[in-house]
Amino acid sequence: MDDRYVGSELELFSAAANWKSYIARLLRPHIGRRVLEVGAGIGSNIPYLYATPVQSWVALEPDRRLAAIIQEKLNHGEITQACRVVNGTIDSLEDDDVFDTILYLDVIEHIADDAAELQRAARRLAQGGKLIVLAPAHQFLFSPFDAAIGHHRRYTAASIRAIGPPGSRVEVCRMLDSIGFFASLANRVMLRSAQPTAAQIRFWDNVLVPLSGVVDRLSGFVFGKSVVVVWSFPQ
């Protein structure tokens, strides 16, 4: 399968170490032994999220070129040898592949029928498993950048809760990057940029993200430019 990804920002955002570390701190308590990352891109999330108790990681990527980049990183020891790369969609997995955690990190907004996708994912979870989604927030922030990289939509806390699979329970739902929210608003209203520059990414990651880490907690995670939700499936 070769479902080519239209975006060109993955390398830029792969250098956002503070953001990825921030997300990892929030998500690690919800990650189990067997992990599936859907839409793994170039594998830049794996070094931040692969930690105890993870024992295996499937990097599922529909774009053949991106999947080859992850495989190359695996071959060169840049990511854990416990990783397996699969080029395809969730329907490309083996019939007996089940997971304790399934991740969609900045992916679900690229999928036209998001609710159906999450229902397919839920069928791959072991009893007591968790489904985790990180996505861009607020449709009014939809920008030329969103359109350029193939986003169908942005979410609110309510709209992302609404696509939870039947039988799931929302364990966590938080807005993140409260300071970055204002940068995104400025881009939407004034700059209308279709692609951030490397300098903009560095400023966001080195200055705005650490500030957001403080303000997010103080504000109770009630606003931001991203939303994260963790669904659990009671045994």
pLDDT in tens, 120-167: 999 999 999 999 999 999 998 888 888 888 899 999 999 999 999 999
Domain holding 193: CATH number?
3.40.50.150
Q: State the Cα–Cα distance between residues 149 and 143, nearest whole angstrom.
A: 10
Residue 100 lies in a domain: yes
Of residues 147 and 115, more confidently modeled: 115
Residue 5 lies in a domain: no
pLDDT of residue 193: 61
Is pLDDT above 60 for 6?
Answer: no
pLDDT above 90: percentage of residues in the chain: 79
Greatest alpha-carbon span in the chain: 50
When divided into structural domains, the chain yields a total of 1
Which residues are CB-contacts of 155 (< 8 A; sequence separation ≥ 6)?
109, 135, 136, 137, 138, 139, 227
Residue 43 lies in a domain: yes
Residue 2 lies in a domain: no
Q: Which domain holds residue 107?
A: 10-232
